[in-house]
Amino acid sequence: MHAAYLKFARKHVYLMKEFTRKIQLRWSDMDPNFHIRHSVYYDLGAKLRMDFLMGNGLTPAVMTQYNFGPILFREEALFKREVRYGDELVMDVKLSRLKKDYSRFGMRHYLMRGEELCAVLNVEGAFIDTQKRRITAPPQVGSELIEAMPRTEDFTYYDQE
């Protein structure tokens, strides 16, 4: 099933405007002060990135088939507002940096409560060849999806720095 979708997707690559999801907090996500525990922000970002990949056909099965997968080198969270259990939250993911061969990337998440910015997450990562254990450019199925990903206003290529 995923092969047919990817065949279609290759012919219809376009730049997505946004990718957002409502965030459902669990009681176990809270600290003793009834705020989100700091590590939960990173878990929410990781889940959203995988939702983006899988929702666009780049599943773990596809990555296994092509022997590649994403890895992270750095995660950073900037906390802007307190978030409490029961808040209605939305998170997005956007591409902030990219190496022109698609081997390295930066992504940014904005956690919003209505119009209020609650947190910003920045991640820096790469794709790895899962057999050679080396950084690699992803195959076409990966590079086309990354190319279509929504971008931050300050998006830049690593190669231009």
Tell me the two tokens of residue 123: 């991640």
The answer to whether residue 161 sits within a structural domain is no
Residue at 159 is within a domain: no
Provide the sign of the torsion angle of the four alpha carbons 130, 133, 139, 144, taken in this order. positive
In a domain, 80, yes or no: yes
The model carries a pTM of 0.87
State residue 13's pLDDT score: 47
Looking up tokens 């080396």 gives: 134
Q: What is the DSSP string of 144-161?
A: HHHHHS-EEEEEEEGGG-
Model confidence band, residue 70 (pLDDT cutoffs 50, 70, 90): very high
Does residue 100 sit within a domain? yes
What amino acid occupies position 5? Y
Mean pLDDT, residues 138-159: 93
The answer to whether position 108 is within a domain reads yes
Q: Which residue has the tokens 């773990």?
A: 60
Q: Quote the pLDDT of residue 109.
A: 98
Residue 118 pLDDT class (50, 70, 90 cuts): very high
> How far is it, in rounded angstroms, from Cα 92 to Cα 152?
11
Least confident of 6-20, 78-92, 96-110: 6-20
> What is the C-alpha separation between 50 and 48, in angstroms, rounded?
5
Structure-model confidence comparison of residues 12 and 62, the more confident one:
62
When pLDDT is averaged across residues 107-114 and rounded to a whole number, the result is: 98
* 112: β partners: 90, 117
**Is 72 within the bounds of a domain?**
yes
- Does residue 1 carry a pLDDT above 50? no
CATH number of the structural domain spanning residue 48: 3.10.129.10
Identify the CA nearest to 77 among candidates 119, 124, 40, 110: 119
Is 44 a member of any domain? yes
In a domain, 53, yes or no: yes
| Percent of all residues in the chain with a pLDDT value above 90, rounded to a whole number | 86
Boundaries of domain holding 85: 2-152
How many domains in the chain?
A: 1
Q: Can you point out the beta strands (E) in 80-150?
A: 89-92, 94-98, 104-113, 116-129, 134-135
pLDDT tens profile 3-33 = 444 444 444 445 678 999 999 999 999 999 9
